[in-house]
Amino acid sequence: MRARDLAQDFPTVSLDSDATEAARLMAREQLPGLIVCDGDGRPYAVLPGSQILRFLVPRYVQDDPALARVYDEKASDELLSKLGRSTVRDVLPDKRDITEIPVVDGDATTIEVAAVMARVHSPLAAVVENDRVLGAITVRALLDHLLPS
């Protein structure tokens, strides 16, 4: 089985997409992450849901969980609902911190797909042919293919 055969339709967002809409898309479609494309439609990054939370939660709360207690229940819900006017670009880590994008060619074998997901700790890999995103393979879909009941 090759990557192009395992690829499923998968929504992409752009760097300038609205971050709130992107997060809603992820939640609504039950996606483990989103493929972010640059202006030319080429994959730029994969945005996992936990990265959105990293953007939303103040740094000092991430560093010291006890500080989360300064927010009561209501303030906590409100703080986190404020993605506001942020774009996907704002939410992504610094370009310097994106060491590798989980992308494979259409003719990649399952081990190549698994290797990139394992290395990047990514819940999905984008499948690309001729600079175009064909779709994505999720870890779950790959496990399902490799370990039939």
Chain residues binding its own copies by CB under 8 A are 1-2, 20, 23-24, 26-28, 30-32, 48-50, 52-54, 56-57, 61-62, 65, 68-69, 71-73, 76-77, 79-81, 83, 108-112, 114-123, 139-144, 146-147, 149
What span, in angstroms and rounded, lies between the C-alpha atoms of 133 and 106?
10
CB of 16 to its own copies, least distance (A): 19
Q: Kindly tell me which of 41 and 100 has the beta carbon lying closer to its own copies.
A: 100
> Measuring CA to CA, which residue among 138, 93, 79, 84 is closest to residue 114?
138
Q: Kindly tell me which of 40 and 72 has the beta carbon lying closer to its own copies.
A: 72
Q: What is the DSSP letter of 18?
A: B
CB of 20 to its own copies, least distance (A): 6
* Cα dist from 54 to 30, 76, 80, 145, 149, whole Å: 19, 14, 11, 32, 36
Q: Kindly tell me which of 98 and 141 has the beta carbon lying closer to its own copies.
A: 141
CB of 77 to its own copies, least distance (A): 5
Tokens linked to 23: 């997060």
Question: How do 132-138 and 33-37 pair as beta strands?
Answer: unpaired
